[in-house]
């Protein structure tokens, strides 16, 4: 729970990174980051109001806290508005991301018709089809394969072994993690007279907005006629499956192992809990939060928190969970009633 920093920092230096106000000694030396529970006097940590009981036992050298809590800190404090957010910002500074150098690896294979910005970095084993456009600051790590006509926006980072099928478009500052497959033809088939499945050509694309994160081994299919759209700021965890023609609204967060059927529309600012499943053609309003393992077979048109399969308002689902665990007793009670009432 403790990580050493590559150099030591004073509390004042840390405060200036997060635009916070020091309470205590600015010259105190910090050489570690840690969770509150394991932090010692050389460590910086953070505390939100829900965690304040931990302030009584922590030995952290300096803690990012809101104004109301700084008195409770054992040693020093840095007052910030949003401690968790400030801590994230601090970590970005203390542990900066390393990007590979600009340039195209000798072991990459790129069609002549591609436009590659000279500040982009293309790793060994990458293969780019015809007419791809790779903007400034883009990183394609080793083994990424792009079909033809793919566009990758400024400062977007593909981790190793990502596949983008032809005509996929990625916005700026996206991250696509290893093993993701974007733009594969959607799963569309129609039966013929012999009861054989004939594939329906899928001629749409996948378009990702800006600041989208796609997890490892996640798959996103292209649209049948129109496009599959992942809007700005969407964060998508590992092993998520997104079917053809899906539209995901801006700043929605999709946890791991979620399956989203074809033509689903999810509004902005939703949170889709892990392993949830959403059936074809479902509409989900904005600001909907689904608990893990939810199953959505009907539209959710009212913002709120839902859970269960079939998905229900969360409080109802929580009570249902209790009931399901007691069905055995219910069976006895119904039987008793029947005997009583005979």
Catalytic residues: 244
Does residue 309 bind a second copy (CB under 8 A)? yes
Choosing from 123, 149, 209, 249, the residue that interacts with a second copy (CB under 8 A) is 123
d(CA 47, CA 195): 62
Select from 1-9, 12-20, 50-58, 68-76 the region that touches a second copy (CB under 8 A): 1-9
Helix 314-325 × helix 327-341 angle, to 10°: 70
Task: Return d(Cα 179, Cα 239) in angstroms, integer.
Answer: 9
> Which residue lies nearer to a second copy by CB, 118 or 196?
196
Binding of a second copy by 3 (CB under 8 A) = yes
**Closest separation between CB of residue 278 and a second copy, Å?**
9
Binding flag, residue 135, a second copy (CB under 8 A) = no
Stretch that binds a second copy, among 32-40, 53-61, 65-73, 150-158 (CB under 8 A): 32-40
Q: Is 112 exposed, middle or buried (0-12, 13-18, 19+ CB in 10 A)?
A: exposed
Choose between 71 and 319: whose C-beta lies nearer to a second copy: 319
Nearer to a second copy, 23 or 311 (CB): 311
Least Å from the CB of residue 342 to a second copy: 9
Question: Cα separation of 276 and 11, whole Å?
Answer: 43
CA distance 206 to 216: 17
d(CA 131, CA 252): 31
Number of residues that bind a second copy (CB under 8 A): 106
Q: Is 283 in the site for a second copy (CB under 8 A)?
A: no
The residue among 121, 231, 223, 118 whose CA lies nearest residue 174 is: 231
Output the 3-class SS for 47-75. CCHHHHHHHHCCCCCEEEECHHHHHHCCC
Q: Which is nearer to a second copy, 71 or 324 (CB)?
A: 324
The first and second tokens of residue 183, run together, are: 């733009």
Closest separation in Å from C-beta 187 to a second copy: 4
Report if residue 209 touches a second copy, rule: CB under 8 A: no
By rule CB under 8 A, what string of x and - marks binding of each residue 65-94 to a second copy? -----------------x-xx-xxx-xx--
50 counts as binding a second copy under rule CB under 8 A: no
Does 95 bind a second copy (CB under 8 A)? Our answer is yes
The interface with a second copy within residues 5-24 (CB under 8 A) comprises none
Closest alpha carbon to 228 in 213, 207, 210, 259: 207
95 CB contacts (<8 Å, ≥6 apart)?
A: none
Helix (H) or strand (E) holding 338: helix 327-341
Indicate the residue among 11 and 146 with the shorter CB distance to a second copy: 146
Secondary element (H or E) of residue 11: helix 11-17
Binding part of the chain for a second copy, among 8-16, 19-27, 68-76, 292-300 by CB under 8 A, reads 292-300
First to last CA, the chain: 64
CB-wise, 115 or 329, nearer to a second copy? 329
User: Contact, 105 vs 124, CB < 8 A?
Assistant: yes
Per-residue mark of binding to a second copy, 139-178 (x: CB under 8 A): --xxx-x-------------xxx-x-x-----------xx
Site for a second copy in 256-275 (CB under 8 A): 256-257, 259, 261, 269, 274-275
């Amino acid at each position: 729970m403790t990580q050493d920093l590559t150099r030591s920092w004073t509390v004042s230096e840390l405060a200036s990174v997060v635009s916070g106000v020091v309470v205590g000694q600015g010259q105190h030396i910090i050489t570690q980051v840690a969770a509150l529970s394991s932090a010692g006097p050389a460590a910086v940590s953070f505390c939100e109001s829900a965690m304040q009981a931990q302030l009584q036992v922590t030995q952290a050298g300096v803690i990012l806290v809101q104004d109301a809590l700084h008195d409770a800190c054992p040693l020093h404090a840095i007052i910030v508005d949003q401690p968790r957010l400030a801590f994230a910002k601090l970590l970005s500074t203390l542990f900066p991301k390393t990007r590979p150098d600009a340039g195209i690896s000798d072991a990459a294979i790129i069609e002549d018709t591609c436009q590659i910005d000279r500040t982009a970095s293309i790793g060994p084993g990458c293969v780019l089809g015809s007419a791809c456009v790779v903007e400034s600051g883009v990183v394609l790590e080793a083994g990424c394969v792009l079909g033809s006509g793919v566009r990758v926006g400024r400062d977007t980072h593909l981790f190793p072994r990502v596949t983008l099928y032809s005509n996929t478009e990625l916005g700026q500052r996206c991250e696509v993690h290893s093993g993701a497959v974007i733009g594969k033809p959607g799963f569309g088939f129609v039966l013929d007279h012999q009861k054989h499945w004939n594939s329906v050509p899928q001629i749409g694309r996948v378009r990702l907005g800006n600041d989208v994160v796609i997890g490892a081994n996640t798959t996103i299919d292209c649209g049948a006629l129109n496009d599959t759209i992942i809007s700005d700021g969407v964060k998508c965890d590992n092993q998520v499956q997104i079917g053809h023609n899906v539209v995901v609204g801006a700043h929605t967060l999709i946890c791991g192992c979620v399956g989203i059927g074809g033509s689903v529309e999810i509004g902005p600012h939703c949170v889709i809990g892990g392993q949830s499943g959403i059936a074809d053609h479902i509409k989900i309003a904005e600001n909907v939060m689904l608990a893990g393992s939810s199953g959505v077979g009907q539209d959710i048109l009212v913002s709120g928190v839902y859970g269960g399969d079939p998905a229900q308002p969360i409080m109802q689902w929580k009570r249902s969970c209790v009931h399901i665990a007691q069905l055995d007793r219910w069976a006895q009670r119904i039987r008793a009633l029947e005997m009583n009432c005979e």
